[in-house]
Amino acid sequence: MSHHIHRRESLWKAERFEIERRTILLNDGEEHSREVIQHPGAVVILPVFGDGRICLIRNYRMAIDVNLLELPAGTLEPPEPPIATAERELREETGYSCGSIISLGEFFMSPGILNEKMHAFLARDLTAGNPALEAGELIEREIFSESEVREKITTGELQDSKTLSALLLYWQHRKAGEV
């Protein structure tokens, strides 16, 4: 079964995304439309210290009116490559710079309504500095042991999907001896 976009119509454009009505042509000749959010993509960064501790942030998320526990992340700003975005966002949101950064993989955030591809990175050899938050960002960094992070997943305190996905990718790569 193969379908392709037959028609696109821009419904609304914001600074970081666009809402578009996409129409596909089904095999029987019928058209089917859906509204989707076009997004340039983003990065999520897993900062891990030499002793295994993990840097997370508490980030106020207006959409859910909650201070969410999550990994640092940010929207891509093409033509900047994802790895450069990851290094920049790590510094801006946590103050840390890294001596080593490697890709953990990519995944889609919510492909039913959104085309945002998330690029996950592991940052090591961390050097402390001062965060450079953007206007309106309400972020505090917190450092946890791996067992504390796992406990926060178990208790439901850690619910951010990009963070859960990046941790899973990291633990799978580590188990395979790849990181």
Which two tokens mark 96?
């840390």
Is pLDDT above 90 for 28?
no
Closest CA relative to residue 113, chosen from 10, 39, 63: 39
How would residue 149 be classed by pLDDT, with cut points 50, 70 and 90? very high
The pTM of the full predicted model, rounded to 2 decimals, is: 0.91
Instruction: List, for residues 123-137, the tens digit of each pLDDT value.
Output: 999 999 988 877 777
Looking up tokens 């033509």 gives: 79
Cβ contact 7:22 at 8 Å: yes
Q: Which amino acid is at 30?
A: E
Q: Give pLDDT, residue 2.
A: 66
The whole-number pLDDT of residue 29 equals 83
Q: What per-residue confidence (pLDDT) applies to 1?
A: 58
Residues 6 or more apart whose CB falls under 8 angstroms from that of 139 comprise: 57, 58, 59, 60, 93, 131, 133
Q: Supply 31's token pair.
A: 């058209």
How many CB atoms lie under 10 A from the CB of residue 123?
Answer: 24
Q: Which domains does the chain possess? A: 5-38 (no CATH), 42-175 (3.90.79.10)
Give the confidence band of 145 by pLDDT, cuts at 50, 70, 90. Answer: very high
